[in-house]
């Protein structure tokens, strides 16, 4: 997912942020994960502090420049079919919290057909109860009980990472070489045994025992035909050197 590809599905909402630097850092996290729809609700940031947001946004200045500012959370989530609020607090209206990783698949699926708002609360006291009531989902990032609260940008990154992962956009390249066949691996063991005997690494009376150790190593690390070919080549070269 390139920057902007997730815009149609996810909106990040920051409620009454205190520090411009945190807003800039959230922009950077959004750019990293491919999102750019940012709305902030009633910011409490002094005008003179905004250059810090630009500095910390780094290459995500476009997200910062295009963010919208509204007065209420209701305005920020207008048009969204799901509103997921992140909270570290317990209490009234907070009993249906799910871990971000547990909720991410459902939210990612919803985001394919409608807008999902990811709502992050104030740095000093999070989301208020009336804001929690506007959420269809409550999210928690598992953290130490002694210090649950995360920095605003850290929380944004964790949530957006899980949403990106759940969306299925990250398809890592698979192994190009096919799996090594049983016969291919058997030939590897045979040549390796012969080479280890020829080089003096092991003696005939200990060969069976030593080869059990090699078999364990190969089973953990020699997975594909290319892997087996490399190890065969090493054994054959060692065998040639021992004979010549």
Task: Quote the percentage of the chain above a pLDDT of 90.
Answer: 55
What pLDDT, on a 0 to 100 scale, did the predictor assign at position 189? 85
121-124 LR contacts (CB < 8 Å, sep 24+): 121/15, 121/16, 121/85, 121/86, 121/87, 122/15, 122/16, 122/17, 122/18, 123/17, 123/18, 123/19, 123/22, 123/151, 123/152, 124/18
Instruction: Report helix, strand or coil for 160.
Output: helix
DSSP designation for 173: P
pLDDT above 90 for 18? yes
Phi, psi of 148 (to 5 degrees): -75, -35
148-155 LR contacts (CB < 8 Å, sep 24+): 148/88, 149/88, 150/88, 151/22, 151/25, 151/123, 152/14, 152/17, 152/19, 152/22, 152/23, 152/25, 152/26, 152/120, 152/123, 153/22, 153/25, 153/26, 153/28, 153/29, 155/86, 155/120
What pLDDT, on a 0 to 100 scale, did the predictor assign at position 223? 73
Please give the structure tokens belonging to residue 139.
Answer: 């999210």
> What would the 3-class secondary structure string for 57-103 be?
HHHHHHHHHHCEEECCHHHHCCCEEEEEEECCCCCCCCCCEEEHHHH
What Rg do the C-alpha atoms of the chain give, in angstroms? 28
167-222 pLDDT per residue, tens: 987 766 777 778 888 888 888 888 888 888 888 878 899 888 888 877 877 777 77
What pLDDT, on a 0 to 100 scale, did the predictor assign at position 152? 95
User: Whole-number mean pLDDT of the chain?
Assistant: 88
pLDDT band at 141 (very low <50, low <70, confident <90, very high): very high
DSSP designation for 113: T
64-104 pLDDT per residue, tens: 999 999 999 999 999 999 999 999 877 655 567 899 999 99
CA distances from 238 to 9, 121, 215 (A): 58, 64, 18
Rounded CA gap, 99 and 139, in Å? 6
What pLDDT, on a 0 to 100 scale, did the predictor assign at position 52? 95
What pLDDT, on a 0 to 100 scale, did the predictor assign at position 201? 79
pLDDT above 90 for 224? no
pLDDT band at 28 (very low <50, low <70, confident <90, very high): very high
Tell me if 49 sits within 8 A of 41, measured CB to CB: no
What pLDDT, on a 0 to 100 scale, did the predictor assign at position 92? 58
């Amino acid at each position: 997912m390139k920057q902007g590809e997730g815009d149609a599905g996810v909106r990040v909402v920051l409620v009454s942020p205190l520090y411009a630097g945190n807003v800039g850092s959230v922009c950077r996290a959004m750019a990293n994960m491919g999102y750019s729809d940012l709305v902030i609700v009633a910011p409490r940031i002094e005008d003179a502090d905004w250059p810090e947001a630009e500095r910390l946004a780094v290459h995500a200045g476009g997200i910062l420049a295009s963010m919208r500012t509204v007065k209420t959370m209701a305005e920020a989530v207008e048009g969204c079919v799901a509103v997921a609020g992140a909270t570290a607090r317990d209490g009234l209206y907070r009993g249906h919290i799910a871990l971000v990783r547990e909720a991410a698949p459902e939210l990612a699926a919803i985001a394919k057909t409608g807008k999902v708002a990811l709502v992050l609360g104030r740095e000093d006291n999070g989301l208020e109860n009336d804001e929690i009531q506007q959420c269809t989902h409550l999210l928690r990032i598992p953290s130490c009980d002694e210090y649950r609260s995360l920095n605003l940008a850290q929380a944004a990154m964790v949530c957006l990472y899980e949403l990106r992962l759940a969306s299925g956009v990250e398809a890592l390249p698979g192994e190009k070489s096919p799996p090594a066949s049983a016969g291919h691996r058997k030939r590897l063991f045979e040549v390796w045994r012969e080479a280890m005997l020829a080089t003096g690494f092991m003696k005939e009376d200990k060969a069976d025992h030593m080869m059990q150790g090699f078999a364990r190593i190969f089973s953990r690390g020699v997975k594909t035909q290319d892997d087996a070919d490399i190890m065969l080549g090493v054994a054959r070269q060692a065998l040639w050197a021992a004979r010549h």
